[in-house]
Amino acid sequence: MAQGNLYIISAPSGAGKSSLISALLKDNHKMKVSVSHTTRSPRPGEVEGEHYYFVSVEQFEQLIDNDVFLEYAKVFGGNYYGTSLPMIEKSLAQGIDVFLDIDWQGAQQIREKVPDVKSIFILPPSLVELERRLIGRGQDSEEVILDRMAKAQDEMSHYTEYDYVVVNDDFEQALTDIRHILSAEQLKTRTQSLRYQGLITELLAK
């Protein structure tokens, strides 16, 4: 069976990553989003095991010692965020594409370990609009929003490390751009050779 593709999506907080990923999940496409572990507190409405696995610093450090993480980093407010390996491996082996919503530090670690990972960076149309979206989301205090805005330019300065860049101005357009990326990736020779192994053997038989 063909292996699923591993995708990284990064963006400054508020650029629209989660909204775009949720919309993609509704497409008729075999894909999953990896659920990370974090030491940050849940926001209202966030569900354990759906948005994150919420753990203490001690639990997170135990998981690091047990080599559970494919990557991990401290992202906001000194909180740990990490991607655990077992679920990803299982899904990819079942031919399911897996999306990682992670920051640039995690992306760098994964590129070292999984050279054929595909990465997409989402940019906001402006800093003013980014702040408007963070405020509009209504999930963070003023202090946290200031922290997220301060980190936004640091995150965005890494955009050249990614394979694709999508500007999330018009939501539907950004979604279409990502769908095109997924389609193109599925048509890559390496992926098609695995999917059509039988056909190719038949076509090339003497």
Ligand X SMILES: Nc1ncnc2c1ncn2[C@@H]1O[C@H](COP(=O)(O)OP(=O)(O)O)[C@@H](O)[C@H]1O
102 binds, among ligand GDP, ligand X, none (CB under 5 to 8 A by kind): ligand GDP
Residues 6+ apart with CB under 8 A from 195: 2
- Of residues 128-187, those binding ligand X (CB under 6 A): 133, 136-137, 168, 171
Nearer to ligand X, 111 or 133 (CB): 133
Report which of 84, 23, 20 is spatially closest to residue 55, judged by C-alpha positions.
84
- CA distances to 29, 171, 176 from 154, rounded to whole Å, are 33, 24, 27
82 binds, among ligand GDP, ligand X, none (CB under 5 to 8 A by kind): ligand GDP
Give kind and range of the element (H or E) at residue 122. strand 118-123
Binding site residue list: 11-18
- Of residues 93-112, those binding ligand X (CB under 6 A): none
Report, in Å, the least distance between residue 117 CB and ligand X: 19
> Cα separation of 9 and 100, whole Å?
6
> Cα separation of 139 and 23, whole Å?
20
Structure tokens at 127: 């800093």
Window contacting ligand GDP (CB under 6 A); options: 72-80, 114-122, 176-184, 197-205: 72-80
Report, in Å, the least distance between residue 204 CB and ligand GDP: 42
Residues lying near ligand GDP in the complex (CB under 6 A): 10, 13, 18, 36, 40, 71, 73, 75-76, 81-83, 101-103, 105-106
